[in-house]
């Protein structure tokens, strides 16, 4: 008989995991507290698909306590740190390859664009990048160092007056709309037999000798009446069979619920919230200026900005800050507008700008928390930090292979939660 597997959370991690499990023949039931897929961290990310997380902008500002935890995590990792870095590189590359494969096989269209350039704004940064090239190549990355002229040829919309010494070009990188991808993959997962139960919060898991019991509860949407009556519900949404806590038996459960995983697992996971803000606007389409705006993904590590194009929209993200999960962080949208104007002046319609602020889980060492939780039958797919979109399809496929009892294509033991204890 096929394994009954519960997936908690219907963001990018949960939906990709549900799809992969269902494709391997598991009976999958997804539980989501919200009313649809990709409503939280997966809602308005930077859209960057990077073949390696270390190449995305650095985190600032960071509280001292967190810096200390990060330093301690680095020391503890020791030799395992190198193993984790190469596991992560392999997983990121698998992630991009699997994303491309799913788009092709399933006919998914997430408005993706191809090309990822990291701007090197002065000769010092160019020299640092040059010195790192061999290390990046040793991780299996296909990287190329471009001079300013070659970089501007690839991204002709870049401001001619903005100082630029060169750029790092990453093969297979680009941008894609993670939310659109998640929504489309959810329908494919349903076709494979996966069930989705929305407005349902998983409260606890009890493990015994023959499997596990999941306690879940209907959690009405805050904006109640219209959605519950069904007016705006997406296909496949379900209403709870009864109000109040319900128990259901499964053979395994995969927690894909980011910062809230500790509460369900009943065990502290050392995760913090990484906040980021975004500005999204339609591209200005002018016949006389066909090169306005970015063609794909442009990362500026100096300003801590990512500028991406998906379809006819441009998104700028930045203002990264780490805090405790409940803390509020000030949002400086002006800095993002200035950054966009600096690199791609006049490229968007300012009358239709959307501002966003979201947070994602991050572990002290910046790595995902992926693998067996330490409780029998309970698995984790959490905290991929700033590269969660790039990693999602790879992490899901490797974890699903393990949950279904197979041998994973990438050995992921270095990414397990035990390293955070
Ligand atoms: C602003 C921003 C920019 C980003 N940019 C990039 C980028 O450019 N490139 C990249 O690769 N990655 C990026 N990321 C990271 C990536 O978007 C995230 O890593 C990814 O979306 C996380 O997906 P998730 O499924 O783990 O989390 P979420 O999307 O947050 O999903 C978790 C779900 O679990 C549900 N849930 C929680 N608790 C329970 C419970 N007890 N019961 C039921 N349901 C529950 C929540 O309602 C939620 O829907 C960015 C993230 C942010 C926030």
Note the pLDDT tens digit of each residue in 354-404.
Answer: 998 888 888 888 889 999 999 999 999 996 677 889 999 999 999 999 999
For a substitution probing ligand 1, which of 389, 391, 392 has the most ligand atoms within 8 Å of its CB?
389
For residue 56, the model assigns a pLDDT of 56
Does the structure show a pLDDT above 50 at 414?
yes
Q: Would you call 263 helix, strand, or coil by DSSP?
A: helix
Residue percentage of the chain with pLDDT more than 70? 85
Please give all residues whose beta carbon lies within 6 A of any atom in ligand 1, as ranges.
8-14, 31-34, 38-42, 45-48, 178, 201-202, 256-258, 260, 264, 276, 278, 306, 317, 358-360, 384, 386-390
Q: Residue 130 above 90 pLDDT? A: yes
Containing 321, the helix (H) or strand (E) segment is strand 313-323
Task: Tell which of 321, 337, 363 closes a domain.
Answer: 363
Decide if 110 contacts 177 (C-beta within 8 A): yes
Question: Looking at the domain assignment, is residue 95 inside a domain?
Answer: no
Q: Are residues 379 and 410 in the same domain?
A: yes
Whether residue 350 is found in the same domain as residue 377: no
β 143-147/166-170 pair status: antiparallel
Query: Of 81 and 419, which is predicted with more confidence?
Result: 419
Which atom of ligand 1 lies at the shortest distance from residue 258's CA? 26
CB 25 within 8 A of CB 5: no
What token pair was written down for 136? 């990046």
CA-nearest residue, atom 15 of ligand 1: 388
What mean pLDDT is predicted for residues 78-97? 81
**pTM for the whole structure:** 0.90
* Centroid of chain to Cα 340: 22
Q: Pick from 335, 363, 391: which residue ends a domain?
A: 363
**Mean pLDDT, to the nearest integer, of 21-45?**
93
Residues 211, 325 share a domain? no
| Residue 287 counted as domain residue | yes
Instruction: Answer yes or no: are the C-beta atoms of 322 and 62 closer than 8 Å.
Output: yes
**Summary mean pLDDT of the chain:** 87
C-alpha to C-alpha distance for 27 and 193, rounded to whole angstroms: 7
Residues 346 and 389 in one domain: no
Query: How distant, in Å, are the alpha carbons of 116, 120, 309 from that of 381?
Result: 26, 34, 28
Is the residue at 398 inside a domain?
yes
The pLDDT assigned to 63 comes to 58
Indicate whether 229 and 217 sit together in one domain.
yes
Determine the Cα–Cα distance for residues 15 and 6; give it in Å rounded to an integer: 12
Taking alpha carbons only, the member of 224, 245, 278, 303 closest to residue 60 is: 303
Expressed in angstroms and rounded, the spacing between residue 48 Cα and the centre of ligand 1 is 14
Identify whether 319 is part of a domain: yes
Label residue 74 by pLDDT band (50, 70, 90): low
- pLDDT of res. 210: 87
For residue 388, report the distance from its CA to the centre of ligand 1, in Å.
8
Task: For residues 287 and 357, state if they share a domain.
Answer: yes
Q: Are residues 193 and 277 in the same domain?
A: no
Residue 115 domain flag: yes
The confidence band for 75, taking pLDDT boundaries of 50, 70 and 90, is low
Domain assignment of residue 86, yes or no: no
User: Is the pLDDT confidence value at 147 over 50?
Assistant: yes
Distance of CA 167 to the CA centre of its chain: 24
222 and 294 in a single domain? The answer is no
231: domain CATH number?
Answer: 3.50.50.60
Residues 284, 309, single domain; the answer is: yes
Looking at per-residue pLDDT, the higher value among 72 and 11 belongs to 11
Q: What confidence score (pLDDT) does residue 225 get? A: 39
- Please check whether residues 253 and 377 belong to one and the same domain: yes
Ligand 1: residue of 38, 40, 301, 357 to mutate (most ligand atoms within 8 A of CB) is 40
The string of pLDDT tens digits covering residues 222-271 is 644 333 333 344 544 555 556 789 999 999 999 999 989 999 999 888 88
Do residues 291 and 146 share a domain?
yes
The answer to whether residue 66 sits within a structural domain is yes
φ/ψ of 24, rounded to 5, equals: -90, 5
Domain encompassing residue 341: 48-75+110-175+271-363
């Amino acid at each position: 008989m096929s394994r009954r597997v519960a997936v908690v959370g219907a963001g990018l991690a949960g939906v990709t995991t549900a799809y992969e499990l269902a494709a391997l023949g598991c009976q999958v039931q997804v539980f989501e507290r919200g009313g649809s897929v990709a409503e939280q961290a997966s809602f308005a990310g930077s859209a960057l698909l990077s073949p390696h997380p270390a190449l995305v902008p650095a985190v600032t500002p960071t509280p001292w306590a967190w810096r200390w935890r990060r330093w301690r995590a680095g020391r503890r990792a020791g030799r395992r740190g190198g193993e984790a870095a190469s596991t992560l590189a392999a997983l990121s590359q698998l992630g991009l390859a699997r994303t491309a494969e799913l788009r092709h096989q399933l006919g998914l269209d997430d408005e993706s664009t191809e090309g990822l350039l990291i701007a090197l704004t002065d000769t010092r940064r160019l020299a640092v990048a040059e010195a790192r090239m061999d290390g990046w190549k040793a991780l299996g990355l296909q990287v190329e160092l471009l001079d300013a002229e070659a970089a501007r040829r690839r991204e002709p919309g870049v401001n001619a007056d903005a100082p630029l010494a060169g750029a790092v070009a990453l093969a297979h990188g680009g941008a894609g709309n993670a939310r659109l991808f998640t929504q489309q993959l959810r329908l494919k997962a349903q076709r494979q037999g996966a069930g989705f139960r929305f407005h349902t919060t998983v409260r606890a898991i009890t493990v015994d000798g023959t499997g596990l019991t999941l306690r879940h509860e209907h959690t009405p949407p805050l904006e109640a009446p219209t959605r519950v009556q069904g007016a705006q519900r997406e296909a496949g949404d379900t209403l709870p069979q009864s109000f109040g806590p319900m128990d259901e038996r499964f053979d395994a459960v995969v927690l894909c619920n980011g910062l809230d995983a500790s509460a369900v697992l009943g065990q502290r996971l050392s995760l913090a919230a990484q906040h980021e803000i975004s500005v999204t606007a339609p591209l200005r389409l002018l016949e006389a200026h066909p090169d306005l705006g970015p063609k794909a993904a442009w990362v500026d590590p100096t300003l801590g900005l990512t500028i991406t194009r998906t379809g006819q929209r441009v998104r700028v993200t930045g203002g990264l800050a780490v805090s405790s999960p409940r803390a509020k962080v000030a949002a400086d949208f002006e800095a993002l507008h200035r950054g966009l104007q600096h690199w791609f002046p006049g490229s968007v319609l300012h009358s239709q700008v959307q501002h966003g602020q979201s947070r994602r889980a991050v572990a002290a060492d910046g790595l995902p928390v992926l693998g067996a939780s330490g409780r029998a039958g309970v698995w984790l797919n959490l905290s991929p930090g700033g590269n969660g979109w790039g990693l999602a399809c790879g992490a899901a496929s490797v974890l699903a292979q393990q949950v279904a009892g197979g041998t994973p294509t990438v050995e992921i033991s270095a990414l397990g939660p035990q390293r955070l204890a």
